[in-house]
Structure 1
Amino acid sequence: MGRLSDQFHFAVTMIRNGVRDGATAPGERLVANDIALALKLSPTPVRQALALLSGAGLLEARPGVGYFARALGVEDLEDLYGASQLLLVAGAKLGLSRRAVTPLTPAPGLSDPAALAQRAEEVLRALMQEGASPVLMETFAMISDRLAIARQAEPYIIDDAANELEQLAAAIGQAQAPHLALRYFDRRRRMARPIIQQIRRAVAARPALNDPGGSGRSG
């Protein structure tokens, strides 16, 4: 790959995606030289990418040790769901004051967990955008990155996740949207423990968990 700026953006994307989809497990150490080798990049832009993602809250920087994907325990997940709930309910309420609402295209019948996780992010982002400021949207995006792996686990635990999402999507801009958003996250906070257990089962079943480039690297 050419310019260091291109390498930096590529490294950010690959590391971020690895943490989001669980290829890099919660608590996993990320070594810049190993990642650079796996992605065929220079170490400098990889280090810069790790520093950026640490500043964004996706990674944890431990002085003298290195960078780690943030651990995700039951209390962590409950807190993330709680923060999302506050943001989404506020966004939904602010959205009620808007005259023009862009409806989402219905997506009934989804059953694949990955598709459901993508749909959840789409619906929640649309709900947030109805009334949120750029600062709130940035905060929401940071929390969404940390919740991405949980969203993949949710369909295994919540039987009617698809119907629940479509109800929320249909309510965007409507009076019931804040109530549905509140109920959506209340339910997940109550189920944080089995969701974490499902995440751990999925992570344990994946080979080369710390390889954001998919090269089979071990670390």
Structure 2
Amino acid sequence: MARNRDPFTQALTSLRERIHTGSLSGGAPIIVQDEAARLQLSTTPVREALARLSGEGLVERASSGGYVATRLDATAARDRYAMHAHYVHIALDLTRNALGPLRPPVPCVGAQEPGLAVGRLFETLVCSAGNGVLWEAFERVCGQLDVLRRLEPRLFSDLDQEAADLYAAYVDSAEGRFQAAAARYHERRVGAAGALAALVCGGERTNRSHPSQ
């Protein structure tokens, strides 16, 4: 592993990526000494990284001590998508109050996959609302949703069209068009929360059967 980052950033980046990809199964204990050995670090930056991830809602304290990766069951998945929708709605209200019919410029996403493109669009809207507390809460729930979003293509076959429709609605001046498109985006995911959580659990069982080296 390249030593081009400080130990804390190394540990934080590695642990966050393993959680987002499902390599660290929800509910499984995270052993500080094992992670430190894997990363060839001392235990201090690993503990600091886990404390940060706890604040992000990606890990939680175990009743017996230490940390476990947060498990996303159907209820947790539904609630997180619902909160994402709520934060976007708040951002739309703040932007409308500040700019009237205008909106922040649409982000340039090039050839990004649809999930990333839509994520950039929502990030632009929420960041431009100018409310630091809203942005922090939005970032937190986005991080918690990452593992679910990676599985959305397995349920939804029209993500490219959905992304195109959202972008078209965003630049359209018609009152309420983007709000309606964003509501449809979130409603289908809230409705599919149980299926997405099941896919996460299926991946976790696979990871436990075939642990990464």
Normalised by the length of structure 2, the TM-score is 0.84
Match of 1:102 among 102, 105, 108: 105
Q: Tell me the amino acid that sits aligned with residue 190 of structure 2.
A: R
* Structure 2 segments unaligned to the other structure (5+ residues): none
How large is the RMSD of aligned CA atoms in angstroms? 2.6
Match of 1:122 among 120, 123, 129: 120
Matched residue, 2:88: 88
Looking at structure 2, the residues matched to 29 and 166 of structure 1 have their Cα atoms a distance apart, in angstroms, of: 40
Q: Indicate the SS of the match to 2:150.
A: helix
Q: Does 1:193 align with 2:187?
A: no
Residue 210 of structure 1 deviates from its aligned partner by 7.0
Q: 1:135 to 1:143 in 2, by over 3 A?
A: same
Q: Indicate the SS of the match to 1:60.
A: strand
Q: Tell me the amino acid that sits aligned with residue 170 of structure 1.
A: A
Q: 1:136 to 1:36 in 2, by over 3 A?
A: same
Larger mean Cα displacement after TM superposition, 46-55 or 88-97: 88-97
Cα contact 1:60–1:67 (8 A) shared by 2: yes
- 1:115-155 Cα deviation digits (max 9, x unpaired): 34433322321232232511111111110111001101111
Cα contact 1:127–1:172 (8 A) shared by 2: no
Sequence identity, in percent? 25
Cα contact 2:50–2:59 (8 A) shared by 1: yes
Structure with the greater relative contact order (CA < 8 A, sep ≥ 6): 1 or 2? Answer: 1
Matched residue, 1:14: 14
Matched residue, 2:205: 204
Q: 1:8 to 1:147 in 2, by over 3 A?
A: same
Cα contact 2:87–2:134 (8 A) shared by 1: yes
Cα contact 1:90–1:178 (8 A) shared by 2: no
Looking at structure 1, the residues matched to 144 and 211 of structure 2 have their Cα atoms a distance apart, in angstroms, of: 16
Residue 100 of structure 1 deviates from its aligned partner by 5.7
**Aligned runs of 1:1-219 on 2, under 5 Å?**
6-96=6-96, 97-98=98-99, 99=102, 101-105=104-108, 115-172=113-170, 174=173, 175=175, 176-206=177-207, 216=213
Looking at structure 2, the residues matched to 127 and 60 of structure 1 have their Cα atoms a distance apart, in angstroms, of: 30
Looking at structure 1, the residues matched to 115 and 155 of structure 2 have their Cα atoms a distance apart, in angstroms, of: 13
Q: Tell me the amino acid that sits aligned with residue 166 of structure 2.
A: L
Q: 1:160 to 1:203 in 2, by over 3 A?
A: same
Normalised by the length of structure 1, the TM-score is 0.82
- How many equivalent residue pairs? 206
* Structure 1 segments unaligned to the other structure (5+ residues): none
